[in-house]
């Protein structure tokens, strides 16, 4: 299949072009489109053949449910059975935005969207292109991240092209996404609500909005993959580069010297074994790794910058001529919790704690 690549302005998208894309969606096609978090691979939720193709082209297990993207609250009431009071506060304060909520599903939602579950994940994205596309399609859009299963989520159109070119009808290219990590997922069918995936909307902010406790299971911190997964997605390996990634965590990020020492030691050890090593450092530590190949992921004073560069760099690990990458850990504060969840998963069990 010839995939069309359509460039649009992220802030002021060409409506004619998006109307064309909406027509493709209504005809049962698949479109990769930008959201403020990562690129999504979308189909109309009511066209089951199209939704099934999402799983096939991504090579995604059919029991790993998709997020429904909506453009207005009418569409929310179309796809959920009820909206708990607690969710109303979140919707009012955080939508449109990088927050996905789990509800009980309505009868209208086909089971292929929810992987057979009675619950459904819903979010209203804030990206102008995503919002306009959903609105013009006149149909809620089921969309997982637009990567092949097991690869890091795409944060620009090139990543999508690498994974899905020739397999889908259209790729909308609106440049880099804004946050670079996937939405925060909160299950509001439980009381207290459960954080299923940390994201750009931080836990601290969620608590402030709802004013109650939130359960944070270990897997939401990326600490282990529960066999009886609460969020079906958590039982699958995610965000993983195919080369080894070593994460060096610290109990105290105020003093960076021990972490730098440990990484230098690891780097020299691997080099002496003839391995090509790359260190993923921060602006604050970059100059301390003399003699080792090093790149900067961002500044510790702006973890949003680190999040934005994260998946680009994980993909780079696979593309560059290196054997192994070593990355510094971050404090689990704000978006740092989302970064650490992704890094722990990407590094598998190769975590060093100092
Ligand atoms: O930022 C995002 O959320 C991006 C953009 C495209 O919107 N989407 C995204 O989708 O990350 P995906 O499919 O890569 O991740 C969705 C996660 C999966 O881990 C899935 O298991 C979980 O949401 N999920 C979906 N429906 C669920 C449900 N009913 N209950 C629990 N978890 C659910
Ligand atoms: Mg994904």
Distance from the alpha carbon of residue 267 to the mean position of ligand 2, in angstroms: 31
Distance from the alpha carbon of residue 251 to the mean position of ligand 2, in angstroms: 29
Query: Are 326 and 202 contained in the same domain?
Result: no
Query: Are 176 and 263 contained in the same domain?
Result: no
- Cβ of 183 less than 6 Å from ligand 1: yes
- With residue 337 as reference, give the H or E element that holds it: helix 336-346
Per-residue pLDDT of the chain (354 residues; tens, 9 = 90+): 899 999 999 999 999 999 999 999 999 999 999 999 999 999 999 999 999 999 999 999 999 999 999 999 999 999 999 999 999 999 999 999 999 999 999 999 999 999 999 999 999 999 999 999 999 999 999 999 999 999 999 999 999 999 999 999 999 999 999 999 999 999 999 999 999 999 999 999 999 999 999 999 999 999 875 444 445 555 555 666 778 999 999 999 999 999 999 999 999 999 999 999 999 999 999 999 998 999 999 999 999 999 999 999 999 999 999 999 999 999 999 999 999 999 999 998 677 777
Query: Are 346 and 285 contained in the same domain?
Result: yes
User: 319 in helix, strand or coil?
Assistant: helix
pLDDT, tens digit, for every residue of 295-334? 999 999 999 999 999 999 999 999 999 999 999 999 999 9
Rg (CA), the chain: 20
- What is the total count of domains within the chain? 2
The answer to whether residue 60 is domain-embedded is: yes
Q: What are phi and psi of 347, to 5 degrees?
A: -90, 0
User: 5 in helix, strand or coil?
Assistant: strand
Query: Are 20 and 130 contained in the same domain?
Result: yes
Q: How far apart are the first and last CA of the chain?
A: 50
Given ligand 1 and candidates 67, 79, 180, 239, which is best to mutate, with the most ligand atoms within 8 Å of its CB?
67
- Cβ of 80 less than 6 Å from ligand 1: no
The answer to whether residue 240 is domain-embedded is: no
The answer to whether residue 63 is domain-embedded is: yes
The answer to whether residue 290 is domain-embedded is: yes
Distance from the alpha carbon of residue 36 to the mean position of ligand 1, in angstroms: 15
- Cβ of 66 less than 6 Å from ligand 1: yes
pLDDT, tens digit, for every residue of 137-172? 999 999 999 999 999 999 999 999 999 999 999 999
Query: Are 211 and 265 contained in the same domain?
Result: no
The answer to whether residue 232 is domain-embedded is: no
Give the CATH number for residue 272: 3.40.50.11030
Query: Are 134 and 250 contained in the same domain?
Result: no
Tokens of 238: 């995610």
CA 34 – CA 111 distance, rounded (Å): 25
Query: Are 137 and 280 contained in the same domain?
Result: no
**Which protein residue's CA is at the shortest distance from atom 7 of ligand 1?**
40
| pTM higher than the cut 0.85 | yes
Mark which of 189, 221, 253 sits at the end of a domain.
221
Give the CATH number for residue 123: 3.90.870.10
Domain boundaries, position 112? 4-221
């Amino acid at each position: 299949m010839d995939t069309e690549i359509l460039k649009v302005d992220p802030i002021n998208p060409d409506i004619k072009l998006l109307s064309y894309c909406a027509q493709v969606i209504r005809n049962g096609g698949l479109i990769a489109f930008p959201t403020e978090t990562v690129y999504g691979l979308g189909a109309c939720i009511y066209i089951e053949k199209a939704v099934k193709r999402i799983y096939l082209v991504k090579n995604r297990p059919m029991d790993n449910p998709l997020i429904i993207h909506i453009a207005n609250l009418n569409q929310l009431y179309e796809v959920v059975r009820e909206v708990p009071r607690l969710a109303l506060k979140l919707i009012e304060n955080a939508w449109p935005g990088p927050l996905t909520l789990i509800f009980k599903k309505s009868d209208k939602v086909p089971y292929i969207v929810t992987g057979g579950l009675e619950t459904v994940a819903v979010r209203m994205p804030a990206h102008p292109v995503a919002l306009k596309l959903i609105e013009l399609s006149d149909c809620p859009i089921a969309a997982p991240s637009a990567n092949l299963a097991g690869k890091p989520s795409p944060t620009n159109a090139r990543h999508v092209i690498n994974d899905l070119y020739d397999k889908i009808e259209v790729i909308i290219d609106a440049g880099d996404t804004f946050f670079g990590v996937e939405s925060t997922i909160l299950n509001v069918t439980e009381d207290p609500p459960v954080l299923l995936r940390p994201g750009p909307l931080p836990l601290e902010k969620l608590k402030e909005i709802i004013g109650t406790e939130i359960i944070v299971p270990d897997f939401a911190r990326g600490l282990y993959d529960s066999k009886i997964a609460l969020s079906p997605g958590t039982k699958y390996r995610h965000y993983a580069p195919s080369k080894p990634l070593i994460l060096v965590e610290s109990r105290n990020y105020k003093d960076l010297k021990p972490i730098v020492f440990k990484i230098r030691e690891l780097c020299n050890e691997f080099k002496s074994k003839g391995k090509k090593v790359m260190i993923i450092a921060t602006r604050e530590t970059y100059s301390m790794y003399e003699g080792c190949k090093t790149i900067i992921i961002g500044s510790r004073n702006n973890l949003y910058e680190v999040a934005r560069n994260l998946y680009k760099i994980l993909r780079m690990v696979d593309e560059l001529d290196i054997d192994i990458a070593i990355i510094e850990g971050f404090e689990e504060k704000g978006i740092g919790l989302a970064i650490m969840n992704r890094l722990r998963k990407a590094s598998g069990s190769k975590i060093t704690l100092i």
